[in-house]
Amino acid sequence: MKTTEKDIEMATKKIYHLKTCSTNQRILKELNLEGVELQDIKTENIDEKTLDFLKDKVGSYEALFSKKAMKYRSMGLNEMDLSEADYKRYMMEEYTFLKRPFIINGDEVFVGNAKKTIEAAKASFNK
Protein backbone atom coordinates (compact mmCIF):
# COMPACT_ATOMS: atom_id res chain seq x y z
CA MET A 1 0.00 0.00 0.00
CA LYS A 2 1.51 3.29 -1.12
CA THR A 3 1.19 6.44 0.93
CA THR A 4 -0.44 9.45 -0.74
CA GLU A 5 -0.07 13.10 0.20
CA LYS A 6 -3.60 12.97 1.60
CA ASP A 7 -2.60 9.94 3.74
CA ILE A 8 0.37 11.90 5.09
CA GLU A 9 -1.90 14.79 6.05
CA MET A 10 -4.47 12.43 7.59
CA ALA A 11 -1.94 10.22 9.38
CA THR A 12 -1.00 12.94 11.78
CA LYS A 13 1.18 10.58 13.78
CA LYS A 14 3.44 8.13 11.97
CA ILE A 15 6.88 6.71 12.68
CA TYR A 16 9.12 5.10 10.09
CA HIS A 17 11.54 2.90 11.97
CA LEU A 18 13.65 -0.24 11.74
CA LYS A 19 12.14 -3.00 13.85
CA THR A 20 15.50 -4.80 14.23
CA CYS A 21 17.34 -1.69 15.47
CA SER A 22 17.72 -1.62 19.25
CA THR A 23 18.06 2.17 19.23
CA ASN A 24 14.78 2.53 17.34
CA GLN A 25 13.08 0.12 19.74
CA ARG A 26 14.35 2.11 22.74
CA ILE A 27 13.04 5.35 21.21
CA LEU A 28 9.62 3.81 20.52
CA LYS A 29 9.38 2.77 24.17
CA GLU A 30 10.09 6.36 25.23
CA LEU A 31 7.31 7.87 23.11
CA ASN A 32 3.58 7.97 23.74
CA LEU A 33 2.49 5.78 20.82
CA GLU A 34 -1.26 6.17 21.30
CA GLY A 35 -2.77 6.73 17.86
CA VAL A 36 0.61 6.44 16.12
CA GLU A 37 1.00 4.38 12.95
CA LEU A 38 4.29 2.46 12.80
CA GLN A 39 6.00 1.39 9.59
CA ASP A 40 9.02 -0.92 9.56
CA ILE A 41 11.15 0.37 6.67
CA LYS A 42 12.78 -3.01 6.15
CA THR A 43 9.40 -4.64 5.51
CA GLU A 44 7.98 -1.68 3.58
CA ASN A 45 10.45 0.98 2.51
CA ILE A 46 9.33 4.58 2.53
CA ASP A 47 7.52 5.71 -0.61
CA GLU A 48 8.54 8.61 -2.81
CA LYS A 49 5.69 10.97 -1.84
CA THR A 50 6.50 10.59 1.87
CA LEU A 51 10.21 11.06 1.22
CA ASP A 52 9.43 14.23 -0.76
CA PHE A 53 7.14 15.44 2.07
CA LEU A 54 9.94 14.90 4.61
CA LYS A 55 12.49 16.61 2.36
CA ASP A 56 10.21 19.65 2.09
CA LYS A 57 10.01 19.77 5.91
CA VAL A 58 13.76 19.40 6.61
CA GLY A 59 15.17 21.15 3.54
CA SER A 60 17.18 18.45 1.75
CA TYR A 61 17.43 14.76 0.96
CA GLU A 62 20.94 14.79 2.40
CA ALA A 63 19.45 15.64 5.83
CA LEU A 64 17.40 12.41 5.60
CA PHE A 65 20.33 10.26 4.46
CA SER A 66 22.32 8.10 6.88
CA LYS A 67 26.04 8.34 6.25
CA LYS A 68 26.49 5.85 9.10
CA ALA A 69 25.02 3.03 6.99
CA MET A 70 27.58 0.28 6.38
CA LYS A 71 26.83 0.35 2.65
CA TYR A 72 27.75 4.04 2.49
CA ARG A 73 31.46 3.19 2.73
CA SER A 74 31.32 -0.29 1.17
CA MET A 75 29.77 1.16 -2.00
CA GLY A 76 32.32 3.99 -2.02
CA LEU A 77 29.64 6.65 -1.68
CA ASN A 78 31.77 8.45 0.90
CA GLU A 79 34.28 9.19 -1.88
CA MET A 80 31.68 10.57 -4.28
CA ASP A 81 30.16 14.02 -4.58
CA LEU A 82 26.49 13.03 -4.27
CA SER A 83 23.70 15.25 -5.56
CA GLU A 84 20.26 15.63 -4.00
CA ALA A 85 18.95 13.30 -6.74
CA ASP A 86 21.59 10.71 -5.75
CA TYR A 87 20.61 10.86 -2.09
CA LYS A 88 16.96 10.39 -2.99
CA ARG A 89 17.67 7.52 -5.38
CA TYR A 90 19.79 5.62 -2.85
CA MET A 91 17.18 6.02 -0.11
CA MET A 92 14.42 4.81 -2.43
CA GLU A 93 16.51 1.78 -3.45
CA GLU A 94 17.84 0.78 -0.03
CA TYR A 95 16.21 1.32 3.38
CA THR A 96 19.58 1.27 5.17
CA PHE A 97 20.33 4.74 3.79
CA LEU A 98 17.37 6.26 5.64
CA LYS A 99 18.32 8.13 8.79
CA ARG A 100 15.97 6.72 11.38
CA PRO A 101 13.54 6.98 12.87
CA PHE A 102 11.43 9.45 10.87
CA ILE A 103 8.73 10.76 13.18
CA ILE A 104 5.76 12.70 11.82
CA ASN A 105 3.38 14.40 14.25
CA GLY A 106 1.04 16.61 12.26
CA ASP A 107 3.12 19.40 10.73
CA GLU A 108 6.16 18.52 12.83
CA VAL A 109 8.87 16.17 11.59
CA PHE A 110 11.72 14.69 13.61
CA VAL A 111 14.55 12.83 11.88
CA GLY A 112 17.20 10.65 13.46
CA ASN A 113 18.04 9.45 16.92
CA ALA A 114 19.94 12.39 18.40
CA LYS A 115 18.95 12.98 22.02
CA LYS A 116 17.79 16.55 21.27
CA THR A 117 15.63 15.30 18.38
CA ILE A 118 13.98 12.60 20.49
CA GLU A 119 13.35 15.01 23.37
CA ALA A 120 11.64 17.39 20.95
CA ALA A 121 9.54 14.51 19.56
CA LYS A 122 8.55 13.47 23.09
CA ALA A 123 7.47 17.03 23.89
CA SER A 124 5.47 17.16 20.66
CA PHE A 125 3.70 13.85 21.35
CA ASN A 126 2.87 14.85 24.91
CA LYS A 127 1.15 18.16 24.02
- Give the Cα separation of 78 and 99 in Å (integer): 16
* Strand-pair category, 13-17 with 102-105: antiparallel
* pLDDT for 24: 95
Of 3.40.30.10, 3.40.50.300, 2.40.37.10, 3.90.1640.30, the CATH number of 14-125 is 3.40.30.10
Residue 12 has pLDDT above 90, yes or no: no
pLDDT tens digits for range 47-80: 999 999 999 999 999 999 999 999 999 999 999 9
pTM score, whole prediction: 0.86
